[in-house]
Amino acid sequence: MERKINVHKRLTSFFVLLAVSILVLIGSSALAGDKKSIKIGVVLPMSGGLELFGQQGIQGAQMAVAEINAAGGVLGGHKLELIVEDNKTDPKTAAEKTKKLILKDKVTAVLGPITSANRNAMLPFINKYKTPLLYATDYEGEACSRYLFCYSAIPDHYIKPFIPYLTKNYGNKFYLFGADYVWPHKMNEAIKKGITDAGGHTVAEEYTPFGVKDFAATIDKIVKSGAEVLVLTLPGADGQTLVKQMTEFGAKDKVKIAFMGFNDNYMSGLTGDQANGVITCNHFIQSLDRPEAKDFVGRQHKMFGKDAIVSFYADSHYGIVMLFKKAIEKAQSVDREKIIDAMPGLSVAAGNGQVTIHEDHHMTLNMLIAEVIDGKLQMKKYIGPTTASPQCAGKL
């Protein structure tokens, strides 16, 4: 009997040790899993008409991830990983890619898109699956969700300083022309109010579908309207086409082109003569003569080549990934809800000074007015830190 008891005790001890060993192995595996990459899904256009902007966004995000990983990642060894999907500048595709990234690829956050239509198509999935959407594109404002964070210039950032500047320097009669989707329509609501507040007059407002190749009739209307300033909300290749034809028809000599969202990336599709005189307002230009801007451009050129274009899309997508990294560190967790709670109030230094994200999930940005002079986008006036009015009071 005693021998049986001893055997039983030894067997019991063996199984206890075996169980402990298994638990240790499981624990070791879990700890190893703690070092797995933190995936960020990217839903940006690589085709469909706005690929100029999509490529710039990826360029900024790639540099942020490379720098974070080279510095040891986050939380003691997690690396960030980008999983890139082409939304084809199409809302339906953007929604499908968002769902795939969340459910199949198990991303912790989604970065993108460009257009408001794509953003609005993605948000139902973002909200349903409670995944942060890092949106780094200028837009019309007042998009609100617990899961949406906007490193974005909105009307308060550029219309309030820009329209009075245009009225003072170029005239008070405005023609508004844009693409027929959410951003131009909402932007022009704010622009018209800005024009009225500055003592100006909107002589006409017109919209066009994407893909128009001949703007001759529109240009004729603009010139005959007596407008002194043309405010363009016509992004991508279509905007380039209009500027080319305005130059060809001599209309640029009669009407000043104020191009909302214009950036260094447009220069690749325009000659110096075609682009000269185009004026805009945004938060970063490649030629900005500030130490942090020169450093940012230098790092971009080192990574992507000396001829790489560096626009505000590269700056904003870099900045929002850096804010996401800071939120993970502040939360000390990869839990989405804890990261979301940690985001408001964070600041980051990107291509144009320190910027801050607020409780409404929108930014204070350092704005400037720039014009194409001698074939190069150059600063005309530095505005500095600009905070929009609260966008989401009671909505988050």
- As a whole number, mean pLDDT of residues 297-317 equals 97
Supply the range of the domain harboring residue 263. Answer: 156-282
Query: Are residues 73 and 148 both part of a single domain?
Result: yes
Q: Are 133 and 148 in contact (CB under 8 A)?
A: yes
pLDDT at 20: 33
In a domain, 86, yes or no: yes
Query: Are residues 278 and 310 both part of a single domain?
Result: no
Query: Are residues 295 and 353 both part of a single domain?
Result: yes
pLDDT at 7: 38
Alpha helices in the chain (DSSP H): 2-34, 51-70, 91-103, 116-128, 155-170, 182-197, 216-224, 236-248, 272-275, 291-304, 312-331, 336-342
> Which of these three, 282, 317, 349, is where a domain ends?
282
In a domain, 124, yes or no: yes
Alpha helices in 129-226 (DSSP H): 155-170, 182-197, 216-224
Percent of the chain with pLDDT over 90: 86
Mean of the per-residue pLDDT values of the chain: 91
In a domain, 87, yes or no: yes
Query: Are residues 293 and 345 both part of a single domain?
Result: yes
Query: Are residues 177 and 273 both part of a single domain?
Result: yes
In a domain, 278, yes or no: yes
In a domain, 10, yes or no: no
Query: Are residues 181 and 330 both part of a single domain?
Result: no
At 36, is the pLDDT very low, low, confident or very high (cuts 50, 70, 90)?
Answer: confident
> Which of these three, 282, 317, 337, is where a domain ends?
282
Other CB atoms closer than 10 Å to residue 180's CB: what's the count? Answer: 12
Q: How does DSSP assign 26-85, residue by residue?
A: HHHHHHHHHTSPEEEEEEE-SSSS-HHHHHHHHHHHHHHHHHHHHTT-BTTTBPEEEEEE
Between CA 158 and CA 280 the distance in angstroms is: 9
The letter for the amino acid at 84 is V
- Domain of residue 242, CATH code: 3.40.50.2300
Cis peptide before 291 (omega within 30 of 0): no
pTM of the shown model: 0.87
Q: Which residue has the tokens 């902007």?
A: 53
pLDDT at 81: 98
pLDDT at 50: 87
**How many CA within 13 A on the CB side of residue 155?**
21
Query: Are residues 275 and 313 both part of a single domain?
Result: no
Burial annotation 293-314 (CB, 10 A radius, 16+ → b, else e): beebbebbeeebeeebbbbbbb
Between CA 322 and CA 314 the distance in angstroms is: 12
The letter for the amino acid at 322 is M
pLDDT at 12: 39
Query: Are residues 45 and 67 both part of a single domain?
Result: yes
In a domain, 250, yes or no: yes
Q: Note the pLDDT tens digit of each residue in 8-30.
A: 444 334 333 333 333 333 333 33
> Which of these three, 282, 307, 335, is where a domain ends?
282
Structural domain tally of the chain?
2
Query: Are residues 170 and 256 both part of a single domain?
Result: yes
Query: Are residues 209 and 100 both part of a single domain?
Result: no
Q: Note the pLDDT tens digit of each residue in 107-149.
A: 999 999 999 999 999 999 999 999 999 999 999 999 999 999 9
Burial annotation 201-238 (CB, 10 A radius, 16+ → b, else e): ebeebeebebeeeebeebbeebbebebbbbbbbbbbbb
Query: Are residues 160 and 149 both part of a single domain?
Result: no
In a domain, 196, yes or no: yes
In a domain, 386, yes or no: no
Whose CA is closest to 35, among 61, 69, 82? Answer: 69
Query: Are residues 46 and 108 both part of a single domain?
Result: yes
Q: Is 340 helix (H, G, I), strand (E, B) or coil?
A: helix
